[in-house]
Each structure stands twice: as structure tokens, then as C-alpha cells.
């Protein structure tokens, strides 16, 4: 029986990926490298730290790499301070889970300060029973640590939980934790491996809600 749904944040609940993509375009244009939002950014999504650096060294000249990345971060953060775009269907799926008395948690690689700030800004932080962030665990996704820690904190068995993820590393982390996962892809289309590691691929959170309603919960009344 479904007792707990665990949400990723960036790219799943919040449309932050599009903000960072646009910031890469702006930063690249400043340094005479157009189109970074379409070339570099998609390649960085979900990469391990060591793989990120290898990719950056290959695609960005060493003499401008640090300053370009600093500008990119500042542009992205500045945009998110003004507005945090919300993915369609977020409030609807939260309402649905509340109606069925299913617990809700967050497991994100983003650090606590930014996660709490953004979720409070869109008015959903207090709707979650537990929030675990990237600076509160040792290992990043795809390591299953963050999901196993959520299960332990929420006193829930893996077979009674569900993960909602957008990225490949998140899907792998849920799979390694032994938790069923619905992938809601953002910028990057799911691979065949990810399709095998999930129980369903939804185009948005509304479709994810519909799948849960049809296949994972008993009707009310």
C-alpha cells in the first residue's frame, strides 16, 4: 500500500532547468560562445562531479572557464530570486496525496538554504512532512543514500514508497534504493535504461497523479 511519495525539486517541482539554460546562453554570449544552453547545459544535467569537470575542460577554454561559470551562476540565481517557476500540476498532485492521507517528502541534491527559500516562495514547503537536502547527506545521487535516509526518517518500507524524479541520476538513486519511481522528464529524454528502472514515464505531474490514482491507491468513499 502506498504510504509515502518522495519528490525531487529542480526540474520536477520547479522549472529551474529552463532558468539555468537561459543563463548559460547569456553567459556564453558574453564570452563569444553562443548556444551553450543547447550544447553544454544539457550535457551537464545529472553528471557526477568528476564528469562535470571533464566536460567543462573539453568545451570551455581554460582562461575564461571560471569567470564564465561565475557569471552563469550569478545570472541564474538572480533570475530565481525574482521568480521561481512552478511545474504544472504540482499543487494538484499535492492536494491529491493529502486527500488520500499519503505522506510527502523531498529529497534533493540542492542545498538546504536554497531549497527552503524556493519552496517557501511558492508556498509548498510546509506541505511536506520531511525535507532532506544535498548538504545533509554524504553522497550525491545516483547513490541511494538520500532516499534510504528518507525511508528511515519516515519509518516507511521501500515497497510502500514512490519516488518522483526528472533526471537519470535521480532515477538510478531510487532504483538502487529499491523504491518504485515515476520519471517526469524535463529537458533530457529518458534513456532505455531509465525506462527499465522506472514503473512509468509521465509527461507532467498531472499525468503522474493520474497514474497513481489509477494504479496505486484505493478510491475514496
The answer to whether the beta carbons of residues 116 and 125 sit under 8 Å apart is yes
Sign (positive/negative) of CA torsion 169, 174, 176, 177?
Answer: positive
CA–CA distance, 143 with 66 (Å, rounded to integer): 28
Domain end call among 82, 108, 124: 82
In a domain, 92, yes or no: yes
In a domain, 73, yes or no: yes
- Residue-wise pLDDT tens digits, 84-116: 899 999 999 999 999 999 999 999 999 999 999
Q: SS3 of 24, please?
A: helix
Q: Is the peptide bond before 17 cis (omega within 30 degrees of 0)?
A: no
> For residue 186, what is its C-alpha cell?
524535463
- For the chain, the domain total comes to 2
Domain that holds residue 173: 4-15+85-215
Catalytic residue list contains 95: no
- Residue-wise pLDDT tens digits, 136-195: 999 999 999 999 999 999 999 999 999 999 999 999 999 999 999 999 999 888 999 999
> For residue 120, what is its C-alpha cell?
517557501
Domain end call among 25, 50, 82: 82
Average pLDDT across the chain, whole number: 93
The answer to whether the beta carbons of residues 154 and 177 sit under 8 Å apart is no
In a domain, 37, yes or no: yes
Domain end call among 82, 98, 129: 82
DSSP conformational letter for 191: P
What does pTM read for this prediction? 0.87
Q: SS3 of 7, please?
A: strand
Neighbouring-strand partners of residue 4: 103, 161
Is 20 in the same domain as 10?
Answer: no
Percent residues over pLDDT 90 in the chain: 79
Confidence at 42, pLDDT banded by 50, 70, 90: confident
Is 33 in the same domain as 130?
Answer: no
Longest dimension (CA), the chain: 65
Amino acid at each position: 500500500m502506498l504510504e509515502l511519495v518522495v519528490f525531487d525539486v529542480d526540474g520536477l517541482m520547479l522549472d529551474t532547468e529552463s532558468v539555468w539554460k537561459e543563463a548559460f546562453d547569456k553567459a556564453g554570449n558574453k564570452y563569444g560562445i553562443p548556444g551553450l544552453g543547447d550544447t553544454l547545459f544539457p550535457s551537464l544535467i545529472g553528471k557526477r562531479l568528476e564528469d562535470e569537470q571533464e566536460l567543462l575542460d573539453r568545451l570551455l577554454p581554460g582562461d575564461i572557464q571560471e569567470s564564465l561559470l561565475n557569471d552563469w551562476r550569478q545570472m541564474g540565481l538572480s533570475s530565481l530570486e525574482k521568480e521561481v517557476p512552478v511545474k504544472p500540476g504540482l499543487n494538484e498532485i499535492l492536494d491529491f496525496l493529502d486527500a488520500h492521507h499519503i505522506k510527502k517528502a523531498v529529497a534533493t541534491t540542492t542545498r538546504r538554504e536554497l531549497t527552503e527559500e524556493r519552496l517557501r516562495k511558492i508556498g509548498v514547503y510546509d506541505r511536506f512532512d520531511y525535507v532532506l537536502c544535498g548538504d545533509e547527506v554524504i553522497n550525491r545521487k545516483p547513490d541511494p543514500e538520500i532516499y534510504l535516509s528518507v525511508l528511515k526518517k519516515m519509518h516507511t518500507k521501500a515497497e510502500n514508497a514512490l519516488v518522483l524524479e526528472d533526471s537519470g541520476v535521480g532515477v538510478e538513486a531510487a532504483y538502487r534504493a529499491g523504491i518504485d519511481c515515476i520519471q517526469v522528464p524535463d529537458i533530457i529524454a529518458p534513456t532505455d535504461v531509465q525506462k527499465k528502472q522506472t514503473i512509468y514515464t509521465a509527461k507532467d505531474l498531472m499525468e503522474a497523479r493520474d497514474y497513481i490514482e489509477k494504479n496505486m491507491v484505493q478510491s475514496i468513499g
